Structures are given as C-alpha cells and as structure tokens.
Chain A
Amino acid sequence: MRLTRLASLLLILSALTLLTLVFLAPIGWFLWASFAELGSVGDIIVETRETLGSGAVAAAILNTNLIALEVTLLVLLLGYPLAYGLSRARGVAFSLILVCIVLPYFTSVIVRTYAWMVLLGRNGLINQVLLGTGVIDAPLELLYNRIGVVIGMTYVLLPYMVLTLYAAMKAMDPRLLQAAEGMGAGPLRVFLKVFLPLTLHGVAAGVLIVFILAIGFFVTPALLGGPGDLMIAMLIEREIELTQNWPGAAMMTLVLLAVTLALYAVYSRVADVRKAFRA
C-alpha cells in the first residue's frame, strides 16, 4: 500500500521537526551567533586566520589527522584478515567470531576506554605481566601518550571496519575464485588479482568511515592521551568548558563539520551509510 504524498509528509514531519529543532538549527545558530559576536566580515576573516593559525589549533589539527591516519591503517591491517576469517567461518566458529566483534561494538565507549586504562597504566596489567616475567626491567609508558590513544581508538573502531569488509567479502561470487583457480592461478595470484580487487570498494568504504569517525573522537583520546595528543574535538570542548571562547570553538567546529561532511559526501558515493551501522 503506497502512501500519498501528503500522508508521507505528515508522518515524517515529527522526525524532521526533532532533527531541525535539536540538531540542524542549534548547529546553525551556534555557528552564526558565535561568528556574529566578532563583528564585521573583515574582523571574522582576520580572527579566523589568527585562531586557526595559532600554535595550539594548528597542532591539534595536525594531531587529529596523524592519529586518525595511524588508527585507520592499523584498523585496516587487523580488520582485513579478521573479516576474511569471518567470511570463511561456518557454524560455531562463525558465531564465536561474531560475538567477539559485536559485544565490544555495542559496549559503551567509556567502558572500552576504561578497560585500556586498566591494561596500559604504569601499574597496569600489561606492565605487571611483562615485569613479572622479566621481559622488561622498568614499566613501559603506554598510557597518557600517543601509544595509548592509538591502541584505544583502534580498539573502538575495529568493528566498523570488520563489518564493512565482511559485507563486501560476503557479496562476492565464490565461483570467480574457483574460475581463477581452475585456469591455473596460484593462491597468491587469486588473492591479488581477484579477491583483493573485488573487496577494494569495501576497503574504501571502511577506510572512509573509520577516518570520519576518528577525526571527531573525543572520549578515548581525552582519557588515554597526554598533553601532546590534543585532538580537535577535545580542543572544542576545552574552549567552551574552560574559557567560554565561543567564537574559537565555532571556528574549529566549522572546520571539523566541513571536513566530516565532505568526506561523508564521498562516502555516500562508495557505500550506504546504513550498512556501516547495522550489525
């Protein structure tokens, strides 16, 4: 039964009202009001150039990109074999692997981050084990630095990559691999010439979604990072919580939002965003 245009509009109006009043309008108003505080267009340009060029903001933008890149690469390296394993597994093995991916995926981000604080700390489990077995003499510095941030974010973002890659691998026609084998290609050749190229759109989608989510991360880097690992989202929070610097926060928000939406536009051409969030 199809709905008429009027009925469709009326039914969806409630959701659209919520989205407009509590998402679109506040973002627009916040940006508008904060920039308006600065005065004329000329002042805004000068002020924006100053803010975005300042040491702290430039460093945060650089950090954000570097951390997001490192995390995306690590997630891909770990996620690809895991997704491949999942696509090949059957029965109990399949269910077990899926539980290992889905349970952390739906567990609170702050809980997952706390778990790594427990593991990586100076007196954390990893150091306890390594010191106890005599592998190292002094505790390793794993927490409140870049290592901690990258490990924690990789952990949080890995399920997105695995589920995206798994969908791509699952959609592949297995007869293509058999055909390549039948014509005499070795396993490495089959992988490089058939399997890998056919999963590349999945890789592109996974890399994009992980990078998009990584550049906006807040909780994990804030808890696991040190003073040198300030990311843009943390800086935005600080500008507001500590100094009430609305214009500064608005400029950084605008940059983060613009980059996110631009990447999202690219992403929507490669993949359906609904798939990345459906387990």
Chain B
Amino acid sequence: MIGPVLRATLLRVLVVLVCAGLLAPIAIVAILSFSGAPYLQFPPRSLSLHWYQRFLGDARWRSAVLNSTVIAAMTCVLSTALGFLAAYVMARGTLFGRRTLAALLLMPLIVPHVVTAVAVYFLSAKFGLIGIKPWIAVAHSVVALPIVLVILQSALETVDPNLERAAMVCGCTRFGVFRRVVVPLALPAVVSAALFSFLISFDEVVISLFLAGIRSETLPVRIWNSLMLEIEPTIAAVSTLLIALTTLALTLDWLVRRLRDQRVRAG
C-alpha cells in the first residue's frame, strides 16, 4: 500500500505534468514568435519583432485579418441577436417539443464541421455565394448560435420572472419589459455571448475553407494555405496574436462575470 503523502504527491505531480502539457505548446509558440533566428529555434538566442513585421508588411496577411474581423463582427451581431430571442423562448416560453427544439438548435455543435461546410458549399456554389462575406458570416452564425444559446439560456433562467411581472403591473408594455428589464438584467451574459461568437467565427477553419474563395480568405484559411507549403515562423507571430485575442476575450468574460456576481451580491 502506498502512503497518503506519497499518493497526494503522485497526484500533484501528475496534475502539474498534464497542465504543463496543456499550456506549454501555446506558450512555446508565443515565445518563438519573438525569435530573431531565420528558423524555429528554442529557446530563441536573439529576440526581435522580425516575424511580426513580416506578417504586418504582407498585404495578403493584412487583408486576411480584415476579412476575419469583418466576418466575425457580422457573425457576432447576427448570432447574438437570434440567440437571445431563442434563449428567451427557451427560458420563458411555452412551446410544444421544447426538448426536441433544443436538441435541434444544438445540433450544429455535434455535426462535424466538414458536413456543414460541404452542404453549405453545395448550396453556395449553386447560387454564386462563394466568397461573399455576409454569407460566410451567416454560415458561421449557424455554428455560433448554439454557444450563444447555451450562455444566454442559463443566464435568463436566473433572472426572476417576477421582476418582469412587476414591470408589467407598473404599466410597462411587453416590448418595454424586454427593453428595460430583460435585456439589462441579461447584459453581462449578452457580452459573454457576443465575445464567444466573435471568437468562434474568427477561429473557424473548415467552413471558411470551403466558402472563402479567393476574395475572402480569412486568417485561419490563410494559415491553413500557408501550412500546406511550409512551417514558416510568420505563422508563430499570427498564432500569438490569435492566442492574445483568446486571452483578451476570456479575461473580459471573467471581468463581466465578476461584475455581475458583485451586483447580485450587492442587490
């Protein structure tokens, strides 16, 4: 039998190792991106912003960033708006087959992106929609919607329906209740949903790969095309920017949640 101290130490070592394994690849890419060497070398012997300059100096990379930003912004607005309405129904509505409906709305999470991508590509090719940015955003919204729904539904379920009743009693119209009570109370979750839907679209690869065409190459598609040729260090710089964006989104989400918790405790 192994003693309790040894067992606890063993578990701790295992946890630290797996955590290191999870964080190390991302951290190493971030460090490498500042390397001054012409190839990937760790630890970097000299530091420079060489790869960032190369990335920002390239018109094709710049347009990829722009395309991704535009598409992600449109996805964010569309999926958050539609997701909010659907989440409100899920939390408050009376509908037949709510479980079936929920399973249906969450399906794009489970169905492989390749299936969605191929099917939408088939449709897009028929109607000449390849490379149209708003259309790519619509396709991204399909996979972002379930996440928005999950975030907003759980938030709306914690909002006391009596507050809405109280507003109605005080003479507020239905739309007024929605605008003055429901939306403000769910605002932190709306911000979270918007952040994550933006991130999902900004990082999406497979659907963009099929729909982007030549005109609307997004950042992940550009990375993909570049990786097909060689593992060049410019991608380390691009990756680091994407990691920074993820970190920023997660931090903002954490701040918003903390703010909400404080408000709940204060109220």
Contact = CB atoms under 8 A, between A and B. Distances in A.
A103 B246 contact: yes
B42 to A, nearest CB: 5
Contacts, number: 275
B100 to A, nearest CB: 11
B203 A5 contact: no
Contact of A219 (B26, B39, B206): B206
A16 B122 CA distance: 21
Contacts of B154: 274, 278
B112 A100 contact: no
A106 B96 CA distance: 34
A118 B115 contact: no
Contacts of B4: 187
A237 to B, nearest CB: 6
B19 A11 contact: no
Interface residues of B, number: 94
Interface in A175-200: 186-188
B1 interface: yes
Contacts of A12: 85-86, 89, 93, 95, 101
Q: Is the interface of B mostly helix, strand, loop or mixed?
A: helix
A114 B263 CA distance: 41
B82 A14 contact: yes
Contacts of B206: 218-219
Interface in B12-33: 12, 14-15, 18-23, 25-26, 28-29, 32
Contacts of A187: 4, 7
Interface string A149-185: 0000001001100000000000000000000000000
A278 B196 CA distance: 11
Contact of A106 (B122, B164, B205, B246): B246
A101 interface: yes
B115 A27 contact: yes
Given A82-B15, A277-B146, A102 B250 contact: yes
A240 B28 contact: no
Contacts of B25: 104, 112, 115-116, 118-119, 155
Contacts of A268: 103
Given A97-B19, A106-B250, 20 more contacts: A2-B94, A3-B92, A4-B94, A5-B94, A5-B95, A8-B92, A11-B89, A23-B108, A23-B116, A27-B115, A85-B12, A103-B26, A110-B227, A125-B42, A158-B22, A237-B118, A249-B118, A260-B112, A274-B153, A274-B154
Q: Which 3 A-B pairs have the closest CB atoms?
A: A216-B112, A8-B93, A85-B15
Interface of A: 1-5, 7-9, 11-12, 14-16, 18-19, 22-23, 25-27, 29-31, 33-34, 78, 81-82, 84-86, 88-89, 96-97, 99-104, 106-112, 114-119, 121, 123-125, 128, 155, 158-159, 186-188, 212, 215-219, 223, 233, 236-237, 240, 246, 249, 253, 256-257, 260-261, 264, 268, 273-274, 277-278
